[in-house]
């Protein structure tokens, strides 16, 4: 396993097929610098091949910040060319996160601003501590979100509400984000990771081929018309129906035991 400079991969829950990816720049509110972008690309590419991984949980180090967005101190004085080169790295990192084959869950333990909010929006499920705040404040800095914010937020909540959050650029408290539909749930800060991992372990106990097929069917189907989406669903259905795991699922049900998934 690689030793990344800005992130930690925790395997405490590997026996339950859940891995924790922790952003680890607490001194900078876990803000996204160039090295973190590189580390995320390398990590996400490497761990998606791990045979025992079924759910990935993302969180931040400490209790203050999940990810405060791009590191503006690093960006100070960058030329347009340097800015573009860095942004290319960020784009690739977020693409790997959005396209991660298994379910991803954000455990938002504090501020999630700019690229930090885009990171949680790039995950499949999102839970936050009660004190967490999130937002896309780019309009206040003379730019707009550039790694998915203007596209992911209107797909997650009503368009008018998404536009309001984007146009105003204000912080959104966790309870309001839950009400809006950005979050799946909120917890006390001391319970957030444990609560999130309970959900992650429940998901990870299911058939890995089914989890991958569900994610691909949903994400791909949402981008097309209903008839095409149903064809996509059927294709994924038969990939599962023709698998050894489908046979194991039926057998274990009848034998009243836990299934022994093989992922094939």
Residues 6+ apart with CB under 8 A from 168: 139
Mark whether 49 is an active-site residue.
no
Pull the structure tokens for residue 128: 């936050």
Catalytic residue (choose from 118, 223, 244, 248): 118
Catalytic residue (choose from 49, 138, 223, 244): 138
State how far the Cα of 132 lies from the Cα of 184, in Å rounded to an integer. 14
Mark whether 138 is an active-site residue.
yes
Within 13 Å and on the Cβ side, how many CA atoms surround 120? 34
- CA nearest neighbour of 69 among 103, 21, 101, 23: 23
State how far the Cα of 122 lies from the Cα of 145, in Å rounded to an integer. 13
Q: What is the SS3 string spanning 61-115?
A: CCCCEEECCECHHHHCCCCHHHHHHHHHHHHHHHHHHHCCCCCEEEEECCEEECH
State how far the Cα of 32 lies from the Cα of 171, in Å rounded to an integer. 18
Residues acting as catalytic residues: 118, 138
């Amino acid at each position: 396993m690689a030793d990344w400079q800005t992130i930690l991969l925790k395997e405490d829950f590997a026996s339950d097929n859940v891995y924790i990816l922790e952003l680890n720049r607490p001194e900078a509110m876990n803000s996204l610098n160039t090295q973190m972008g590189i580390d995320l690309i390398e990590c996400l590419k490497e761990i998606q091949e791990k045979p025992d991984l079924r759910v990935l949980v993302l969180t931040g180090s400490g209790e203050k910040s999940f990810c405060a967005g791009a590191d503006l101190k690093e960006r100070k004085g960058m030329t347009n060319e340097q800015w573009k080169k860095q942004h290319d790295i960020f784009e690739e990192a977020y693409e790997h996160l959005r396209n991660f084959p298994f379910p991803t869950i954000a455990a938002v333990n504090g501020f999630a601003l700019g690229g930090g909010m885009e990171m949680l929006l790039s995950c499949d499920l999102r839970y936050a501590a009660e004190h967490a705040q999130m937002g896309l404040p780019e309009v206040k800095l003379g730019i707009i979100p550039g790694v998915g914010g203007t596209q992911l937020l209107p797909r997650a909540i009503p368009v008018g509400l998404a536009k309001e959050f984007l146009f105003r650029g204000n912080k959104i408290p966790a309870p309001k984000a839950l009400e809006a539909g950005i979050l799946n749930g909120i917890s006390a800060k001391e319970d957030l990771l444990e609560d999130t991992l309970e959900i992650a372990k429940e998901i990870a106990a299911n058939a890995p081929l089914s989890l991958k097929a569900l994610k691909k069917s949903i994400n791909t189907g949402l981008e097309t018309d209903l008839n095409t989406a149903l064809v996509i669903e059927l294709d994924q259905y038969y990939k599962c129906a023709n698998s050894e795991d489908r046979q194991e699922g039926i057998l274990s049900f009848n034998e009243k035991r836990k299934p022994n998934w093989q992922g094939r």
